[in-house]
Structure formats: structure tokens, C-alpha cells
Amino acid sequence: MADEVQTEVSDGIAVITINRPEARNAVNGAVARGIAAALDEADANKDVQALILTGAGGTFSAGMDLKGFLTGDAPNFEDRGFGGIVERPPAKPIIAAVEGYALAGGFELVLACDLVVAAEEAKFGLPEVRRGLVAGAGGLLRLPKRIPYHLAMEIALTGEHFPAARLQQAGLVNLLVPAGQSLAAAKELAAQIARGGPLALTTTKRIITESADWPSTEAFHRQSELITPVFMSADAREGALAFAEKRPPVWRGE
């Protein structure tokens, strides 16, 4: 597990790297367990404000390890699902830093992230239909909510590879950068996020991700239940005091 998924924490950012470049970072059971463990650790670590998910060796991930699939090596982990993330992403913001290919389950890992930084030459796709399979790790559920319906259908039904530039135009990719620069750019974006208060960040993410299913008549009430503890927190007082004293805030996460 330690070899196939590597985690580095620095300056409030946890970088989680799928480290199977010889297999184009295909996801097997060890990768799923490694990512799940890294997410648990990052969510529990008060020194971590934001996460980055990336792949080693110039590619993000080619998806499920089909050889492992044939031998019964399930690329899932308990309630987190495929890749240890798609069914229960981390509570903290997570950025996908994409080089090379993000295909099939690899694309679904990207879709489980909150922001996407991609190299200009990166390619995305859901080729499952060409293998007699279905993109059941969130691709069909999340993609139509992130990009226009007809483009989502084209991606899902044709199985073709789509360039990062087209997905940026569709609103899926936040930043498009030169080849080899996705991780550096993702770290810069994560650093911007990490300046925010821990409680404010996790609550903001939770409201955005959950509110789509809230009835409109209950939306503000449900939001109030989540934000009231934040406004009453020590961090909220620290944020106001730091602003008044013209200094960076010192967050405590409480």
C-alpha cells in the first residue's frame, strides 16, 4: 500500500500520488486501500487544509486494473467505493492534478474531486462501453451535473478520448497548464484554499455538494444548521480579529 500510494504533507496541503506508473496508475485493491487511508488521515489532520490527488510518471490513471479485475482483486474500499474515494470523497477540498490520461475509473476519480487542474495535453474519457462495461463509479452520475447534457452523453456513449481544452470550455477543468505543470499549479491553487478557516472550508464544501438535493423550502434552514456552529466558533472570532489587526489569522479548527 505504501508503495502504490504515496502521501506528502507540507504547508497545509496533502499530496496523494497513485504510484503505479508501470501500469499507467491503474487502480487495484492496494490503490483503493491506500487512497482511502490517505483521505482518512488528511481529514483527521488539523494541519491539512486541502488535498491534491495525482498520478506518478506523467499520467493520472487509466482506470480499473483489468488484470486485477479478472483475478478478483476488487478496486474498492468499504463505504468509499472505487479507488477509495468515489462514494465518499474527503470532507476537505480536494484537487485533481491531471497529466496524460484520465480514463474510465481514472476519470471517475477526477470527478470525485472538487477542482481540476489539467495539462494541456491531458485526455479524458469513459471507454467502458467499448469493454462491455458501464461507468458505474460515478461517471454517469456526476458528469451530467458538471457539463452540458449532450456532451456528457457523447463522452459516455462513444468512449472516445476528449482533450482537456474541450472540457475546460465545458467548465469541468479549472486551470489548463503546460505539460508537466499540473501538480505545481494545483499546489498554488491549494495554497489559496488553505488560507481559509478549516471549519469554514469543510462546511462550504458540504453545503455546495449536498444542497443540490435539498428542497428549496428547506434550503436556508438546512444551511443555517450547518453554518451556525461556524459563526460561533473560535476561528470566526480569530478571523475577524486578524482582519481588524491586519495580520494573518491563526486557525485552530474549532
Measured distance CA(139)–CA(83) in Å, rounded: 13
Predicted TM-score (pTM) above 0.75 = yes
- Asked if residue 126 and residue 40 are part of one domain, the reply reads yes
How big, in percent rounded to 5, are the helix, strand and coil portions of the chain? Answer: 45, 20, 35
Cell of 250: 491563526
Is residue 254 domain-resident?
A: no
Residue 77's pLDDT is: 95
Residues 34 and 54 in one domain: yes
Close Cβ partners of 227 (under 8 Å, ≥ 6 residues apart) = 203, 207
* Residues labelled as active-site residues: 108, 128
Tell whether 130 and 211 lie within a shared domain.
no
Residues 139 and 230 in one domain: no
Please indicate, yes or no, whether residues 116 and 154 belong to a single structural domain of this protein.
yes
Per DSSP (E only), the strands in the chain are: 5-10, 13-18, 50-55, 76-77, 81-82, 94-98, 101-103, 115-119, 123-125, 162-163, 175-177
Cα 113 from Cα 2, distance rounded (Å): 22
Domains held by the chain: number: 2
Measured at the CA of 210, the angle between CA 84 and CA 162, to 5 degrees, comes to 60
205 lies in the same domain as 121: no
| CATH code of the domain containing 99 | 3.90.226.10
Q: What is the pLDDT of residues 9-22, one digit of tens each?
A: 999 999 999 999 99
* Same domain? 184 vs 212: no
DSSP secondary structure code for residue 230 in this structure = H
3-class DSSP state of 139: helix
- Domain span holding position 12: 5-194
The ranges of the chain with pLDDT < 70 are 1-2
